[in-house]
Copies of this chain bind each other. A is one copy, B any other.
Amino acid sequence: MTVKLVVVGGGSSYTPEIIEGIIRRHDSFPVTDIVLVDIEAGKEKLEIIGNLAQRMIEKSNKPINLSWTLDRREALKQADFVSTQIRVGGLAARSKDERIPLSHGFIGQETNGAGGIFKAFRTIPVLLDLAKDVHEICPNAWIINFTNPAGIVTEALLKHSPHKKVIGVCNIPYNMRHSTAEILDADPNDVLIEFIGMNHFVFGKKVYVNGIDRTKEVLEKLSGDLDYSPANIVNLGWSKTFIEATGLLPNPYHQYYFQTKEVLEKDVKAFKENGTRAEVVQNLETSLFNIYSNPSLYEKPKELEERGGAFYSDVACSLMDSIYNNKQDVQTVNTINNGAIPDLPEDAVIEVNCMITNNGPKPISVGALPHTVKGHIYQMKAFEELVIRASISGDYNDAYTAMVMNPLLANEKGSKVVLDELLEAHKSYLPQFKSRGN
Closest Cβ of chain B to A357, distance in Å, is 5
How far, in whole Å, are A397 and B367 apart by their CA atoms in the complex? Answer: 23
Contacts of A365 in B (CB 8 A): 337-340, 362-365
Also in contact, A373 and B405, with CB within 8 A (given A355-B364, A365-B364): yes
- Our pick among B240, B358, B374, B410 for the contact of A258 (Cβ within 8 Å) is B410
Q: In the complex, A396 Cα to B240 Cα: how many Å?
A: 13
In this assembly, does A429 line the interface, its C-beta being within 8 Å of a C-beta of chain B?
no
How far, in Å, is A35 (CB) from chain B's closest CB?
25
Contact A375 B379 (CB under 8 A): yes
Alpha-carbon gap, A380 to B371, bound state (A): 12
What band does the interface of chain A fall in when counting residues whose beta carbon is under 8 Å from B? 35 or more
From B211, B330, B410, A358 is in contact (CB under 8 Å) with: B211
Minimum CB–CB distance for A394 against chain B, Å? 14
Per the bound structure, the CA–CA distance linking A24 and B80 in Å amounts to 41
CB <8 Å contact, A407 and B405: no
The segment from A85-93, A169-177, A381-389 that touches chain B is A381-389
User: How far in angstroms is the closest Cβ of chain B from A252?
Assistant: 13
Q: Using known A-B contacts A239-B416, A341-B339, A382-B374, determine if residue A346 contacts B367 with beta carbons closer than 8 Å.
A: yes
A366-B339 in contact (CB<8A)? yes
- In A303-322, the 8 Å CB interface with B consists of none
Contact across chains for A397 and B244 when beta carbons are under 8 A apart: yes
Say yes or no: is A210 at the interface (Cβ < 8 Å to chain B): yes
A interface, by DSSP: helix, strand, loop or mixed? mixed
Q: Binary interface profile of A, 344-368, with partner B (CB < 8 Å = 1, else 0)?
A: 0010000000010111001111111
A240 surroundings in chain B (CB, below 8 A): 438
Residues of B within 8 A of A438 (CB): 240-241, 244
* Selected interface stretch from A37-45, A56-64, A142-150, A259-267: A259-267
Contacts of A376 in B (CB 8 A): 379, 382, 405
A40, B394: Cα distance in complex, Å:
52
Q: How far is the CB of A100 from chain B (nearest CB, A)?
A: 17
CA distance A383 to B376 in the complex (A): 9
For residue A259, which residues in chain B have a CB less than 8 angstroms away from its CB?
Answer: 411-413
Closest to A105 in B: B261
Assess the A383–B389 pair: CB atoms within 8 A. Answer: no
A413 CB to nearest chain B CB (Å): 7
